[in-house]
Amino acid sequence: MNKLSFYSLVMSFIALMLFWIIMSGFFTVFHLTLGALSVVGIILINYKLKTHRFYDDDMDDLKQVRFFRAVYYFFWMAVQIMKAGFHVALIILRPKLPIETSIMTFKVDLPSAHAKMILGNSITLTPGTLTLDIEGNNFTVHALDKYSYQGILSDEMPKEVLKLFEKEERAVISDVKITTSNA
């Protein structure tokens, strides 16, 4: 079992409180107090879950994430989601555009299970792609068309995830195999 650091608890409180404020839209003392009590309750309920290691290379706490890079990644990811969303909308609005669904498998060289989870979730959040399976270093991804998986194939998205944890820039994906079926 892991011991949670004070830094990790404070960052979790701040993140959850910001989420509460954004979602509620109320800034009165009453609502902020309810938010703080809710956040403390969530942290207490999830304490055992946060201290349990599911993988050998689980992160000990949030100190391994480069904070300022994470802020950049949030906005970068929002732009990627919007670009992919417009692309999928174009496909829907113009049914004559060719759809060539694909299953893509590849290996990643990322520092932890947490980094792999972030990459898998980022792929799924981007319209037109879906992470089907992550087994060790092997990913299986479904894509709507060739454009949808270009950010993965070019190693752009995996490198952005790597930058959350390391300053070193290197290739992240390898052994790419794409199976295409015409719809």
- What CATH number is associated with residue 83? 3.30.70
Predicted local distance difference test score (pLDDT) of residue 55: 58
Are both 101 and 141 inside the same structural domain? yes
**57 in a domain, yes or no?**
no
**60 in a domain, yes or no?**
no
pLDDT over 70 percentage in the chain: 89
Are both 146 and 118 inside the same structural domain? yes
* Averaged pLDDT, 125-133: 91
**171 in a domain, yes or no?**
yes
**1 in a domain, yes or no?**
no
> Which residue's structure tokens are 């942290």?
43
Are both 122 and 168 inside the same structural domain? yes
* Tally of domains within the chain: 2
**123 in a domain, yes or no?**
yes
Predicted local distance difference test score (pLDDT) of residue 1: 46
Predicted local distance difference test score (pLDDT) of residue 150: 87
**58 in a domain, yes or no?**
no
Are both 134 and 47 inside the same structural domain? no
Range of the domain at 15: 6-52
The band of 46, judged by pLDDT with boundaries at 50, 70 and 90, is confident
Predicted local distance difference test score (pLDDT) of residue 107: 94
Number of neighbours of residue 24 by Cβ within 10 angstroms: 14
Are both 74 and 132 inside the same structural domain? yes
| Partner residues linked to 100 by β-bridges | 182
Residue 183 has pLDDT above 70, yes or no: no
Residue 2 has pLDDT above 80, yes or no: no
Number of neighbours of residue 90 by Cβ within 10 angstroms: 11
Residue 57 has pLDDT above 60, yes or no: no
Are both 69 and 146 inside the same structural domain? yes
Predicted local distance difference test score (pLDDT) of residue 133: 92
Number of neighbours of residue 103 by Cβ within 10 angstroms: 15
**pTM, entire model:** 0.71
Residue 175 has pLDDT above 80, yes or no: yes
The band of 177, judged by pLDDT with boundaries at 50, 70 and 90, is very high
Tell me the two tokens of residue 104. 């893509």
- Half-sphere exposure for 151 (CA within 13 Å, toward CB): 24
* Averaged pLDDT, 38-51: 80
**126 in a domain, yes or no?**
yes
Are both 89 and 150 inside the same structural domain? yes
Are both 85 and 126 inside the same structural domain? yes
Residue 83 has pLDDT above 80, yes or no: yes
Are both 39 and 70 inside the same structural domain? no
Residue 3 has pLDDT above 70, yes or no: no
CA distance 76 to 80: 6
Q: Which of 92, 83, 96, 98 has the alpha carbon at shortest distance from 150?
A: 83
Are both 131 and 76 inside the same structural domain? yes
Are both 160 and 136 inside the same structural domain? yes
Are both 93 and 150 inside the same structural domain? yes
